[in-house]
Amino acid sequence: NIVTLAEVLDLRAEVDIPVHATVIESQVEKGHGNIASVLVKRGTLNIGDIIVAGTAWCKVRNMTDDRGNSVSSVGPAGAARVTGWKEIPQAGDMVLQAESEAQAKSVVNHRVEKRKNKSQLASISSMNDKRRETHAREDIERAEEKAHARAVREYYQGIRSSYPDPLEKKDNGEEGADNPEANKPALLLPIIVKGDVSGTVEAVEAALGRLPNKKIKPVVLNTGVGPVSESDVAIASSSEQCVIIAFNVKADKKTQNVAKRQKVQIMSSRIIYKLLEDVEQLMLDRLPSVFVDDLQGEAVVQQVFDITMKGNKTTSIAGSRVTSGLLTKSAKTSVLRNDKVLYTGEISSFKNVKSDIFEASKGQEFGIAFDGFEDLRQGDVIQSFRQKELPKKLE
Model confidence pLDDT, tens digit, residues 47-80: 999 999 999 999 999 999 988 899 999 999 999 9
Query: Given the DSSP bridges, would you call strands 20-29 and 50-53 parallel, antiparallel or unpaired?
Result: unpaired
Average pLDDT of the residues in 151-177:
65
- Whether residue 312 contacts residue 355, with contact meaning beta carbons closer than 8 Å, is answered with no
Which residues 6+ apart lie within 8 Å of 178 measured at CB?
Answer: 171
Residues in the chain: 395
Say what the pLDDT of residue 69 is: 93
pLDDT in tens, 237-285: 888 889 999 999 989 999 999 999 999 999 999 999 999 999 999 999 9
- How many angstroms separate the CA atoms of 107 and 113, rounded? 10
**Confidence band, pLDDT 50/70/90 cuts, at residue 177:** very low
Euclidean distance between CA atoms 103 and 86, whole angstroms: 15
Q: CB under 8 Å to 305, separation ≥6 — which residues?
A: 316, 317, 318, 319, 367
The H or E element containing residue 302 is strand 291-308
Candidates 328, 255, 254; CA nearest to 296 is 328
Percent of the chain with pLDDT over 90: 46
Spatial CA neighbour of 209 closest among 281, 276, 271, 266: 276
DSSP β-bridge partners for residue 243: 191, 265
Mean of the pLDDT values across residues 96-112? 93
Dihedral sign for Cα atoms in the order 201, 205, 206, 208: positive
> Residue 108: pLDDT above 50?
yes
Given a contact cutoff of 8 angstroms between Cβ atoms, the answer to whether 306 and 315 are in contact is yes
pTM above 0.85, yes or no: no
pLDDT classification of 156: cutoffs 50, 70, 90:
low
Model pLDDT, residue 361: 92
Looking only at the bridges linking them, the beta strands covering 216-225 and 187-195 are: parallel
Residues of the chain with pLDDT > 70, as a percent, come to: 93
What whole-number distance in Å separates Cα of residue 328 and Cα of residue 303?
A: 20
Lowest mean pLDDT among 60-69, 151-160, 288-297: 151-160
Q: Is the pLDDT of residue 178 over 60?
A: no
Radius of gyration in angstroms for the set of CA atoms belonging to the chain, rounded to a whole number: 37
Three-state DSSP class for 183? helix
Query: Rounded to 5, what percent of the chain is helix, strand, coil?
Result: 30, 40, 30
Taking 90 as the threshold, does the pLDDT of residue 193 lie above it?
yes
Where is pLDDT greater, at 354 or 335? 335
- The most confident of the ranges 80-89, 144-153, 366-375 is 80-89
- Ranges 20-34, 109-123, 350-364: which has the least confidence: 109-123
Lowest mean pLDDT among 86-100, 113-127, 192-206: 113-127
